[in-house]
């Protein structure tokens, strides 16, 4: 299982990130200060570090040196969103930089992108009665292959990686189709209905009033 270190001193934010990453299928460890984060990095194996810059004890820039020496991928999460801080973080070797506040769905997308770049993504995922093979982009339900289009497969992955999160239609559209969502478009609704029908997931993918959909 992919292991992620969350170095974030604001406990409510740390817990929110951890809960959603665990729901998406990752194993997480939290550090509320820089010294604890350094101890974890030196003594345990991780596939990715989510690193706040303004940490007590040892700050994120110093921890970046630890991560770089271990060839650990790093995403900076910080309220320091100026261009100067972003450029500094990226020049030090960070793989991405996400300013606070951020949407959880965006964080999950950034995490997936960095892990994919390092070939560390989970090859198979099991949810309810289906098995998803992300390498071959195939889905099996009770051992039988389910025929999904490319967009239906991407839509399924988005729901699975954001389980129990209400996803707005524009968020779904931007992540699966790209570009700007048009409110009069029925693309998202039609694809969701087809996906639910193919998987018999009418009770799992539910509509959220005036928002969009949620996998529960």
Do 8 and 86 fall into the same domain? yes
Q: Are residues 17 and 95 in the same domain?
A: yes
Structural domain harbouring 12: 3-117
Global pTM?
Answer: 0.70
Q: What pLDDT is recorded for position 20? A: 87
For position 81, what pLDDT does the model report?
64
Band (pLDDT 50/70/90 cuts) for residue 30 is: very high
Q: Is there a single domain that holds both residue 100 and residue 132? A: no
Task: Looking at the structure, tell me whether residues 37 and 67 fall in a common domain.
Answer: yes
Look at residue 150 in the predicted model and tell me its pLDDT. Answer: 93
Q: Are residues 17 and 78 in the same domain?
A: yes
Question: Which of 20-24, 60-64, 178-182 has the least mean pLDDT?
Answer: 178-182
Judge whether residue 133 has pLDDT over 80. Answer: yes
| pLDDT number for residue 22 | 85
Mean pLDDT of 164-189: 86
The pLDDT of residue 71: 86
Q: Tell me which residue of 46, 25, 47, 49 sits closest to 157, measured CA to CA.
A: 25
Q: Are 50 and 86 part of one and the same domain?
A: yes
Whether residue 102 is found in the same domain as residue 10: yes
157 and 51 share one domain: no
State mean pLDDT over 164-173: 89
The verdict on 21 and 102 lying in the same domain is: yes
**Which of 96, 117, 138 lies at the terminal end of a domain, its last residue?**
117
Tens of pLDDT, residue by residue over 60-103, are: 888 988 888 888 999 998 887 667 767 777 777 889 989 888 88
Say yes or no: 112 and 203 in one domain: no
Q: Which two tokens stand for residue 86?
A: 């972003």
129 band by pLDDT with thresholds 50, 70 and 90: very high
Q: Do 94 and 13 share a domain, yes or no?
A: yes
Segment 159-187 shows an average pLDDT of 85
At residue 208, the pLDDT reads 94
Number of domains in the chain: 2
Per-chain mean pLDDT for the chain: 89
Domain containing 96 — which CATH number?
Answer: 3.40.50.2300
Digit-coded pLDDT (tens) for 33-48: 999 999 999 889 899 9
Asked if pLDDT for residue 161 goes beyond 90, the answer is no
Residues 16 and 106 reside in one and the same domain = yes
CATH of the domain at 205: 1.10.10.10
Question: Which of 117, 140, 168 is where one domain is finished?
Answer: 117
Percent of the chain clearing pLDDT 90 (strictly above): 47
| 73 phi/psi in degrees, rounded to 5 | -65, 140
Residue finishing a domain among 117, 147, 165 = 117
């Amino acid at each position: 299982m992919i292991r992620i270190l969350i170095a974030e001193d604001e406990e409510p934010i740390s817990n929110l990130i951890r809960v959603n990453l665990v729901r998406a299928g990752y194993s997480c460890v939290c550090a509320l200060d820089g010294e604890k984060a350094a101890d974890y990095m030196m003594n345990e194996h991780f596939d990715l570090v989510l690193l706040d810059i303004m940490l007590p004890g040892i700050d994120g820039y110093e921890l970046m040196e630890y991560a770089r020496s271990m060839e650990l991928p790093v995403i900076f999460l910080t309220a320091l969103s100026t261009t100067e801080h972003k450029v500094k973080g990226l020049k030090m070797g960070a793989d991405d930089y996400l300013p606070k506040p951020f949407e959880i769905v965006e964080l999950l997308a950034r995490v997936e992108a960095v892990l994919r770049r390092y070939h560390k993504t989970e090859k198979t995922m099991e949810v309810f009665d289906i098995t998803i093979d992300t390498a071959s982009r195939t889905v099996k339900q009770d051992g039988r292959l389910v025929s999904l289009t490319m967009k239906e497969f991407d839509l399924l992955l988005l729901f699975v990686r954001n389980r129990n999160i209400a996803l707005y239609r524009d968020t779904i559209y931007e992540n699966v189709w790209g570009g700007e969502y048009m409110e009069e478009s029925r693309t998202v609704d039609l694809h969701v209905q087809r996906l639910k029908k193919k998987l018999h997931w009418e009770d799992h993918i539910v509509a959220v009033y005036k928002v969009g959909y949620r996998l529960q």
